[in-house]
């Protein structure tokens, strides 16, 4: 069955927006996607009919807790794990990472070391740097190759040692779109007994998260990047979640699944996160009616999404190269499986600053980001100046016509 993008777009009311007389083009997905109606309805249904705090014996609290339980099962399906008690909901990825990094760092000693990467968002970088400062551990950095922005795993092999306690890496860069070989990174890290923390925030809307085949110890994603509301999902292997020292107030449950949740959860957003995962599963069932379980349906959805997005990526790359733009990432259309459709570009004439390019596009109703998108390790490693880059981020609700309009709208 072909990918029916028009049917998909009808589910996203936000996409109907116009700027002047032009239909808006949402190429801002890496900073937050639009949501299908089912997600907005799930948030509103929770608030209007199930709104209650956690752990009461009365109807709304019981229903609210049932929503949280179902959302955990859905999140487990999204990540491909079987124990839903290992799922933690957080306000956002940054908060989850600060929380966990403080706890993990309590197990580090001076002389220990952690490895971060040049290709990461600062949220998978600075929390670890600060935790290492607090514990006396030192920090190493896995470099990226400047020609194609892939991570240099030989550099990782050179730098890792039995003193390495943690390797934190993104599954895909939110600047270049490069997909990192997480399974190989985890294998190298586990050879020395290091914990592997995977930031799947940028990867999740584009491809299948598979925590088990990745052999990760922790995986984190943000629902607002995969068609949901503002909430994050953190998964960790049960022994870590049980053993690591969690920061908790006294009356709160110190047992899983509540152990790593602090304060009152944004339950309406967790209800919306459940709906976003179900949206993906429904998409999978549409393209493959025999998909069966929610996990199988998600597998099918992500396969369809990745294939469709690669067709858009090919078209985008051809257009950008034709126009002479510099693309800060993989440009070879034979290597599209190594990237997601996120393109950071600069104009060949440095007088066209990213901010002016982004404004030029905004005036045509084309929404893109400029700056460093918090991918500061990336822009620092590549020597990008303070003006940054322009980022065009596609997801599965974008179309070939939108790609063509962008290419046409870019100044020569």
Applying CB under 6 A, which residues contact ligand PLP? 30-31, 92-94, 121, 123-124, 170, 174, 199, 201-202, 222, 232, 374
Q: Which is nearer to ligand PLP, 294 or 391 (CB)?
A: 391
Q: Which is nearer to ligand PLP, 395 or 410 (CB)?
A: 395
Q: Which is nearer to ligand PLP, 93 or 297 (CB)?
A: 93
φ/ψ of residue 252, rounded to 5: -65, 150
Q: Which residue has the tokens 């209007």?
A: 48
Q: Which is nearer to ligand PLP, 124 or 150 (CB)?
A: 124
Three-state DSSP at 26 gives strand
Q: Which is nearer to ligand PLP, 10 or 376 (CB)?
A: 376
Q: Which is nearer to ligand PLP, 201 or 281 (CB)?
A: 201
Separation of alpha carbons 73 and 68, rounded Å: 9
The terminus-to-terminus CA distance of the chain in angstroms comes to 38
Q: How remote is the C-alpha of 3 from its chain's centroid? A: 23
Q: Tell me how far, at minimum, the Cβ of 172 lies from ligand PLP, in Å.
A: 7
Q: How remote is the C-alpha of 128 from its chain's centroid? A: 18
Q: Tell me how far, at minimum, the Cβ of 182 lies from ligand PLP, in Å.
A: 13
Q: Which is nearer to ligand PLP, 199 or 258 (CB)?
A: 199
Separation of alpha carbons 297 and 280, rounded Å: 8
Residues with Cβ within 8 Å of residue 342, at least 6 apart in sequence: 30, 172, 173, 174, 175, 176, 177, 202, 329, 391, 392, 393, 394
Residues with Cβ within 8 Å of residue 407, at least 6 apart in sequence: 316, 319, 320, 322, 323
Tell me whether the omega of the peptide bond preceding residue 257 falls within 30 degrees of 0, making it cis. yes
Q: Tell me how far, at minimum, the Cβ of 369 lies from ligand PLP, in Å.
A: 10
Q: Tell me how far, at minimum, the Cβ of 264 lies from ligand PLP, in Å.
A: 19
Q: Which is nearer to ligand PLP, 297 or 382 (CB)?
A: 382
On whether the CB atoms of residues 179 and 119 are closer than 8 A, the answer is: no
Q: Tell me how far, at minimum, the Cβ of 373 lies from ligand PLP, in Å.
A: 7
Separation of alpha carbons 128 and 133, rounded Å: 9
Q: Tell me how far, at minimum, the Cβ of 376 lies from ligand PLP, in Å.
A: 12
Q: Tell me how far, at minimum, the Cβ of 315 lies from ligand PLP, in Å.
A: 24
Q: Tell me how far, at minimum, the Cβ of 209 lies from ligand PLP, in Å.
A: 13
Please name every residue paired with 339 in a beta bridge, in sequence order, or none if there are none.
Answer: 178
Please name every residue paired with 151 in a beta bridge, in sequence order, or none if there are none.
Answer: 144
């Amino acid at each position: 069955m072909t990918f029916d993008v028009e049917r998909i777009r009808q589910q996203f009311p936000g996409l109907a927006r116009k700027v002047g007389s032009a239909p808006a083009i949402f190429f801002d997905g890496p900073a937050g996607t639009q949501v299908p109606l089912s997600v907005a309805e799930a948030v509103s249904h929770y608030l209007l009919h199930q709104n209650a705090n956690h752990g009461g014996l009365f109807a709304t609290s019981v229903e609210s807790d049932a929503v949280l339980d179902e959302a955990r099962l859905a999140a487990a399906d999204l990540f491909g794990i079987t124990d839903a008690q290992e799922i933690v909901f957080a306000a956002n990825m940054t908060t989850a990472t600060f929380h966990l990094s403080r706890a993990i760092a309590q197990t580090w000693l001076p002389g220990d070391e952690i490895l971060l990467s040049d290709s990461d968002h600062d949220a998978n970088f600075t929390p670890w740097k600060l935790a290492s400062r607090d514990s006396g551990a030192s920090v190493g950095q896995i470099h990226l190759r400047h020609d194609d922005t892939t991570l240099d795993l030989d550099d990782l092999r050179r730098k890792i040692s039995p003193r390495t306690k943690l390797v934190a890496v993104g599954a895909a860069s939110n600047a270049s779109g490069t997909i990192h070989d997480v399974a190989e990174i985890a294998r190298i890290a586990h050879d020395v007994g290091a914990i592997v923390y995977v930031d799947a925030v940028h990867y999740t809307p584009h491809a299948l998260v598979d925590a088990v085949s990745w052999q990760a110890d922790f995986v984190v994603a943000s629902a607002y990047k995969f068609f949901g509301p503002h909430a994050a999902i953190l998964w960790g292997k049960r022994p870590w979640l049980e053993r690591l020292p969690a920061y908790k107030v006294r009356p709160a449950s110190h047992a899983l699944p509540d152990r790593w949740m602090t304060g009152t959860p944004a339950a309406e957003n967790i209800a919306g996160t459940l709906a976003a995962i179900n949206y993906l599963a429904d998409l999978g069932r549409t393209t493959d009616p025999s998909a069966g379980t929610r996990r199988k349906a998600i597998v099918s959805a992500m396969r369809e999404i990745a294939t469709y997005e690669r067709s858009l990526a090919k078209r985008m790359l051809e257009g950008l190269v034709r126009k002479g733009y510099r693309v800060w990432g993989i440009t070879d259309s034979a290597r599209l499986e190594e990237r997601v459709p996120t393109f950071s570009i600069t104009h060949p004439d440095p007088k066209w600053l990213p901010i002016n390019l982004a404004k030029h596009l905004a005036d045509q109703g084309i929404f893109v980001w400029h700056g460093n998108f918090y991918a500061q390790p990336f822009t620092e490693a590549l020597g990008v100046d303070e003006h940054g880059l322009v980022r065009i981020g596609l997801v599965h609700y974008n179309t070939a016509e939108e790609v063509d309009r962008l290419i046409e709208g870019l100044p020569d």
